[in-house]
Amino acid sequence: MQNRLGFAALVALASLVTFMPGCSQAPIASTPAPAPAVAPLAALAPLAAGPAPLFTAIPYETWKILGGHATFELAQTADGTVLTGRGPLQINGFLTSPRAIGDFRLAVDVKLGSRQFPLGEKMNSGIQIRSQEMAGTVGGLQVEVDPTKRAWSGGIYDERGRDWLAPLKDSTPEAEAARGAFKLGEWNHYEIECIGPRIRTKINGVPCAVWYDGIVSGLVAFQVHNGAACEVAFRNPMFEELGAHSWRAMPEAAGPSSGERCAWSHPIGAEMRGVRMRVNHSGHVVVLAADGTRLADVPFAPAAVAKNADGSNKAAPADGAAVWRKLELVWIDGAGSVLLDGARVATLALPQQPTHIRVLGEACEAKDSEVLQRD
């Protein structure tokens, strides 16, 4: 695990942001103006290189509120630029970026609390990353802000989707340190890095979560959680856009195999960061090195993935037809995950560069294959 996110430049630049004297708590705008529909990532020019204040890089007036009608205020204070979101809300509210973002780093100080609950103990929040607009609200990946005794701040959750992906529930020293990183009633420095399939988080310099996923672009948003009490502040957000990765169609192929039937086979180039496809029936996916070494061999079966997003069982087809499932292998810098219908079924540790991937199984079929590469 690589723990250093390389945010020294972000922190240094944040400390240089200065403001005119005498403007403490002067509101810049109470709510953003309505923004146009989210544009496709490929249709937008990349931002200039290097970290910058988030609401300079992506102007505040272009952001929009989705979900619950939270009150957002961006103000200049003695401590810097502070975005404050408040309820009460019946459903979660989000201040949402006007466009999808691919690879990026975001550093921001976060504090939960109000006059009534200064420690924020009755509250919850999060920072959405690589998310989507869903029926007037936001769903997708979220970096958690959790003041409860559970202490999963910095973990990764899937809002309106797969639920917890990277909770901080392990009993390892690393997980225990992560659970102790968030300080109630104080400013907590969040660092989020999304590059290709990998997401990494830190709080107050402590590594919290690493997650590998097939979702590689989407909206950024700041959440105000539902309930009567939520008040959350985000101070001096610094942002650096780092390009993008995307999925591209690749030829369907089934190569010769000695022994077990090969349903799909394709060489893998050094520039590739993932492969995904639809599969059915039982089988296993094999990752090979140039010398033929099996770097990974992961089985899959209908029972392992016949679940809905809420964990309930999928209904079997009435005609007995095979159920097609999404198989994803994603990696970067020698590590990654294998996912079936978005659920991680294996981790990947790749001491050598993968050069070939095969899907094997006597009855298995594969279709709609794609490869993940940097744009």
Q: Where are the alpha helices (DSSP H) in 154-218?
A: 173-179
Span 141-188, pLDDT tens digits: 999 999 999 999 999 999 999 999 999 999 999 999 999 999 999 999
Q: Judge if 351 and 254 occupy the same domain.
A: yes
DSSP state of 304: H
Coil/strand/helix, residue 13: helix
Do 237 and 251 lie in one domain? The reply is: no
> Which one, of 84, 96, 86, 14, lies nearest residue 60 by Cα?
96
Q: Do both 224 and 286 map to the same domain?
A: no
Do both 107 and 91 map to the same domain? yes
CB 197 within 8 A of CB 332: yes
Say if CB 198 and CB 332 are below 8 A apart. yes
Q: Which of 65, 55, 109 is nearest to 91 (CA)?
A: 65
Residues 262 and 333 placed together within one structural domain of the fold: yes
Examine the domain organization and report whether 136 and 214 are in the same domain: yes
State which amino acid sits at residue 63.
Answer: W
Contacts of residue 268, defined as CB under 8 A and 6 or more positions apart, other chains included, come to 275, 354, 355, 356, 357
At residue 139, the 3 state secondary structure works out as: strand
For residue 263, give the nearest of 132, 145, 369 by alpha carbon: 369
DSSP three-state, residue 310: coil
Mean pLDDT score of the chain, rounded to an integer? 85
SS (HEC) of 331-342? EECCEEEEEECC
Domain identity same for 215 and 271:
no
In a domain, 1, yes or no: no
Predicted confidence (pLDDT) per residue in 198-245, tens digit: 999 999 999 999 999 999 999 999 999 998 789 999 999 999 999 999
Residue 31 lies in a domain: yes
Strands 52-53 and 231-241: antiparallel
List of residues 6+ apart from 343 with CB closer than 8 A: 162, 305, 307
Cβ proximity of 198 and 210 under 8 Å: yes
How far apart CA 226 and CA 184 sit, in angstroms, is 19
Residue 225 lies in a domain: yes
Task: Please give the angle made by the CA atoms of 177, 126 and 234, to the nearest 5 degrees.
Answer: 95
Residue 3 counted as domain residue: no
Structural domain count, the chain: 2
Residues 43 and 174 in one domain: yes
Q: Copy the structure tokens of residue 73.
A: 């205020």
CB 85 within 8 A of CB 224: yes
> CA-CA distance, 40 to 48, in Å (whole number)?
19
Q: How far apart, in whole angstroms, are the C-alpha atoms of residue 91 and residue 200? A: 28
154 and 219 in a common domain: yes
Residue 282 belongs to a domain? yes
**Pairing relationship of beta strands 245-249 and 198-203 according to DSSP bridges:** unpaired
Point out the domain boundary residue: 243, 272, 297: 243
Give the residue from 208, 228, 243 where a domain finishes.
243
Residues 6+ apart with CB under 8 A from 265: 253, 254, 255, 257, 356, 357, 358, 359
Burial 246-280 (b: 16+ CB within 10 A, else e): ebeebeeeeeeeeeeebbbbbebeeebbbbbbebb
pTM for this structure?
0.83
Q: Are residues 209 and 261 in the same domain?
A: no
Q: Where are the beta strands (DSSP E) in 114-167?
A: 125-134, 137-145, 156-159, 163-166
Whichever domain contains 310, its CATH number is 2.60.120.200
330 shares a domain with 253: yes
Provide the residue range defining the domain that includes 326. Answer: 246-374
Shared domain for 307 and 206, answered yes or no, is no
Beginning with the edge strand found earlier in the chain, give each strand of the sheet holding 294-300 in spatial order.
Answer: 262-267, 354-360, 283-289, 294-300
Q: Which of 222, 243, 264 is the last residue of a domain?
A: 243
Residue 2 domain flag? no
Residue 85, CA distances (Å) to 54, 69, 127 in order: 16, 10, 12
- Residue 154 maps to which CATH number? 2.60.120.560
Rounded CA-CA distance 253/366 in Å is 9
Domain contains 151: yes
Closest alpha carbon to 265 in 329, 358, 330, 328: 358
Per-residue pLDDT of the chain (375 residues; tens, 9 = 90+): 444 444 444 444 344 333 333 333 334 444 454 433 333 333 333 444 689 999 999 999 999 999 999 999 999 999 899 999 999 999 999 999 999 999 999 999 999 999 888 998 889 999 999 999 999 999 999 999 999 999 999 999 999 999 999 999 999 999 999 999 999 999 999 999 999 999 999 999 999 999 999 999 999 999 999 987 899 999 999 999 999 999 999 877 666 555 688 899 999 999 999 999 999 999 999 999 999 999 999 999 865 445 565 666 666 555 556 789 999 999 999 999 999 999 999 999 999 999 999 999 999 999 999 999 999
